[in-house]
Structure 1
């Protein structure tokens, strides 16, 4: 899967291009030096076997990670700039260490409060407090990138934990569908996409119907997080889900609720 949002292109931020995600457990623990997309929740839940060990996400060693979040605060100090980031799954601090004493670091051009940014860096701990050590940071200029990143995080995580569909690495049959074309591991027979050509969404394309049917099934008060929708509609490609969600929002079938990452049906 080609990702237009990473510099230089490459599939899945370079993480999925190696094709080793479906390997043995030993291969998974051996470490992966490519760039791993993570949510801030995954960042905060990353674990270490001991203080000198690599951090792991989904039982896989991670070196460099990338996150996308909205800047809630910017604090400048003599040696670094600290940004408070959140993405709807959690919040964290990102530190950009200054190479010089100049107040205007070129890496901070365009970075300000209440805009979305993509940051690339590593997970660090200092004084028993975890932070994101940013190596690069840039503003997000295409809002589709926010949705794309969350979907990509879910895709990578699912493939690492469950195996790629049809790869033989899914002994639990997690990607199998029931008779009603819904995912067995999701929220029951009413949660999946299905291709019901009758009823309220009969005039929509199959992918649009799938999203609307899922979002209309007992939605929480603050709506469904877009990443949760993608996690339950894995039969569709991430980029297609991004475009379909944007279409449903623009056509008024969906609206954003508690934040831009949570959606609810209009009827």
Structure 2
């Protein structure tokens, strides 16, 4: 029985941070992400979102590269340039789109003749048109094993729980430290005091942002995404606006700067 071909770079989802799969930075991270494959239920596809149209898709704080889904075909729409398959797996309903090959024989050889009521596996990238999400297929094949859809659901849930809770018998990735501090603050607590000495004059929130940026492995090249910063420092009384103001103040003071885009930050050192 096919298992969908793995899910993340470095062979395991258990090694990933909540910020991004692979722990890589910059272009390396994006390259790994584009070649990784994560199994998702259709409900998870529906739940995934983009911060903006050019942003990576994310699910529960983790970036998503390629996805593999499986479901019953409940509708097939044939268009001039593409086929649109509507899939259902008991958790939701999602469309998968595949584009026609120029040669009709090549098209039939590569994609086969998918019919309503078949169970198929689709691998591809998530896209959105208007408010409708769909999977842009790079591969489609019929599922011949009646148990594959159940295996896929368990695999998708296992990956999600592992990203959220960490390895079995290991500390949860999102585990809170005493005092309701985030995992990122807990990770940085072992940082030498000298590393933060030059920032003692800053307001508390700005110091915490610096601490989070220094604690992340991505800070060396690609910078740390603003979503990671916000999740790490957000607590009662800390709003999105106050985090944004603190980031602006740190940039104006030359303490931090943006890297690959306006959403990734790095400490000026």
- Please give the residue correspondences for 1:141-156 in structure 2 after superposition, counting only pairs within 5 Å: 141-156=144-159
- Which of 1 and 2 has higher RCO (CA within 8 Å, sep 6+)? 2
Which segments of structure 1 move beyond 4 Å, counting only runs of 4 or more?
A: 27-31
Identify the residue that residue 217 of structure 2 maps to in structure 1.
none
- Please give the residue correspondences for 1:188-203 in structure 2 after superposition, counting only pairs within 5 Å: none
Give the C-alpha shift of residue 90 in structure 1: 0.4
TM-score (norm 1): 0.56
Asked whether the equivalents of residues 87 and 95 of structure 2 are also in contact (C-alpha less than 8 Å), the reply is yes
Identify the residue that residue 225 of structure 2 maps to in structure 1.
none
Asked whether the equivalents of residues 165 and 171 of structure 2 are also in contact (C-alpha less than 8 Å), the reply is no
| 1:40-74 CA distance string (max 9 Å, x none) | 11111111111110101221111110000000011
- Please give the residue correspondences for 1:14-33 in structure 2 after superposition, counting only pairs within 5 Å: 14-15=7-8, 18-19=11-12, 21-28=14-21, 32-33=33-34
Instruction: Work out the number of aligned pairs and report it.
Output: 165
Q: Distance in 1 between matches of 2:46 and 2:150?
A: 20
Structure with the bigger percentage of helix: 2
Give the C-alpha shift of residue 127 in structure 1: 3.7
Q: Distance in 2 between matches of 1:24 and 1:81?
A: 37
| 1:155-202 CA distance string (max 9 Å, x none) | 000001111111223647xxxxxxxxxxxxxxxxxxxxxxxxxxxxxx
Identify the residue that residue 112 of structure 2 maps to in structure 1.
109
Query: In the alignment, which of 55, 58, 70 is matched to residue 56 of structure 1?
Result: 58
RMSD: 2.4
Structure 2: which 5+ residue stretches go unaligned?
A: 177-269
